[in-house]
Amino acid sequence: MVEETPWQQALRYANRANPYPFYEELRRTPVARQPDGSYVVSTYREVVQLLHDPRVTSDQRKRPDTPSNPFEATIITEDPSEHDVDRRRMMRHFAPPECPQTIADFEPEIRRVFGELLNDMKGKTRVDFVDEFAFPGPVTVICKVLGVPLESIPRFHGWIEAALDGLDFGPEANDPEQQRRTAAVPDQVAEFRQFLAGLIDQYRKQPGPGMFSGMVNDGGPEGLSQQSIVRNAMLMLFAGHETTVNLIAHSVLNLLRHPDQLEKLRRRPELIVPGVEELLRFESSVQFWPTRSALEDIEIAGTTIPKGAPIFLAYGSANRDPERFENPDRLDLERPDNQHVGYSQGIHYCFGAPLARLEAQTAVGEFVRRVQNPRLVEDPPPYRRNQIFRGPRHVWVDIDGIRD
């Protein structure tokens, strides 16, 4: 049997809870060629450099092999100028300069949502902080931001889960069990698309609250096509909560693993802002991104990435690079100069980051303030299958109660 590369080992499901020792090994070769001809970039400096390199494309149609991807022809798989125009068309319904107040106006709602989830835990002694907190919070918020009825959450949640389980970038992709999951993906994506197309049609006939309605009824010269709206709507509904769910779940998990940091945050609640940045660095919500490839030969860190080669930028590893972050495996809520790549950089920098930060700050802050004597039940907890959107399936916690 051929020995697996550190990258392949990091992607194995058995290592999902702790891929970091493999990342460490991986970083010894900052730009590492894999047996399938792809290149994995794992060091901070090189990741940042390629995020700004206009010879790197995000458009999979420009690759010799065109892998299937549920997010094809959305802003994250487009290059300029297409990308710039489409992103702007969406941004104008969400953020400054046209909508400077959207996110700030949601703050009371975010506070209320997470506050109620904690109220619902009153009287319990054991809580799953994924199913009862980290998931329902962000998904409720994104539905309200976008204008998706809350009743439909269980339906699209199922499709998204199945689609995520079917995407495997590791050596287990060819296992029969995984092949079965992968085979289910197109149907799930089609149903998800159908659902959103219906919703968007409805908004076209009768405008309502939220971004989707705004995008459909944008009378400006830069309107989006129906197909483009549906594809990007899928992206936003999915990306608008999935990563925040994992961030909040990981934050709870890591604070309970580091009682000194939890205590510090309890004593000094103002540390929540740098604290969430550190939690983002510590467990990147997006561990790596797989749609990039080289349009030219690119010389970097002593290696030449040949034209056409797929490039995986490993954010999760870059954020633990000791060349950039002192003692990277230590959780330090007061870490100075914490310019992590948890939300990427460059033109594909996370569109929803300001909203996600506000949600995580609120959720984690309220968790620390209100949950009495929390104790991890299972460590490590069970993990979800997907490697990109890596997160625990459950985080069981024993608690003494919920403060008001």
- Smallest gap, in angstroms, from Cβ of residue 266 to another protein? 23
Q: Decide: helix, strand or coil at residue 287.
A: coil
- Smallest gap, in angstroms, from Cβ of residue 30 to another protein? 15
Cα-based distances in Å from 194 to 73, 163, 209: 16, 15, 20
Segment interacting with another protein, rule: CB under 8 A, options 54-62, 116-124, 182-190, 211-219: 54-62
Quick check: 352 and 240 in contact, CB under 8 A? yes
When binding is defined by CB under 8 A, the residue of 47, 48, 200, 333 that contacts another protein is 48
Tokens of 61: 């149609």
- Smallest gap, in angstroms, from Cβ of residue 324 to another protein? 15
For another protein, the closer of residues 55 and 266 by Cβ is: 55
Q: Pick from 380, 382, 369, 376: which is nearest to 396 by CA?
A: 376
Quick check: 301 and 399 in contact, CB under 8 A? no
For another protein, the closer of residues 57 and 361 by Cβ is: 57
Segment interacting with another protein, rule: CB under 8 A, options 33-41, 312-320, 346-354, 363-371: 346-354
Tokens of 222: 């830069």
Segment interacting with another protein, rule: CB under 8 A, options 115-123, 238-246, 327-335, 340-348: 340-348
Segment interacting with another protein, rule: CB under 8 A, options 179-187, 191-199, 343-351, 372-380: 343-351
When binding is defined by CB under 8 A, the residue of 31, 56, 118, 305 that contacts another protein is 56
Give backbone dihedrals phi and psi of 274, rounded to 5 degrees, phi first: -65, -30
- Smallest gap, in angstroms, from Cβ of residue 97 to another protein? 8
Quick check: 383 and 391 in contact, CB under 8 A? yes
- Site size toward another protein (CB under 8 A) is 21
Amino acid identity at 143: C
- Smallest gap, in angstroms, from Cβ of residue 65 to another protein? 17
Burial 91-127 (b: 16+ CB within 10 A, else e): ebbbbeeeeeebbeebeeebeebbbebbeebeeeeeb
Segment interacting with another protein, rule: CB under 8 A, options 50-58, 157-165, 194-202, 383-391: 50-58
For another protein, the closer of residues 298 and 402 by Cβ is: 298
- Smallest gap, in angstroms, from Cβ of residue 74 to another protein? 17
Radius of gyration for the alpha carbons in the chain, expressed in angstroms and rounded: 21
Q: Pick from 86, 38, 46: which is nearest to 63 by CA?
A: 38
Q: Give the footprint of another protein on residues 262-321 (CB under 8 A).
A: 295-296
Q: What is the DSSP letter of 225?
A: P
When binding is defined by CB under 8 A, the residue of 37, 54, 96, 259 that contacts another protein is 54
How many whole angstroms from its chain centre is CA 193?
20
What is the distance between the alpha carbons of residues 7 and 385, in angstroms, rounded to a whole number?
16
For another protein, the closer of residues 62 and 155 by Cβ is: 62
What is the distance between the alpha carbons of residues 281 and 354, in angstroms, rounded to a whole number?
16
Cα-based distances in Å from 32 to 20, 47, 299, 310: 16, 12, 13, 12
What is the distance between the alpha carbons of residues 38 and 117, in angstroms, rounded to a whole number?
43
The binding track of 60-99 with respect to another protein, each residue x by CB under 8 A or -, is --x----------------xxx--x---------------
For another protein, the closer of residues 56 and 163 by Cβ is: 56
For another protein, the closer of residues 25 and 79 by Cβ is: 79
When binding is defined by CB under 8 A, the residue of 57, 77, 188, 285 that contacts another protein is 57
Tokens of 247: 């961030």
For another protein, the closer of residues 52 and 157 by Cβ is: 52
- Smallest gap, in angstroms, from Cβ of residue 305 to another protein? 12
Sign of CA dihedral 23, 2, 34, 172: negative
Segment interacting with another protein, rule: CB under 8 A, options 48-56, 117-125, 221-229, 277-285: 48-56
* Backbone conformation region of residue 391, classed left if phi is above 0, alpha if psi is from -120 to 50, else beta: beta
For another protein, the closer of residues 50 and 117 by Cβ is: 50
Q: Which residues bind another protein (CB under 8 A)?
A: 48-49, 51-57, 59, 62, 79-81, 84, 295-296, 345-347, 349
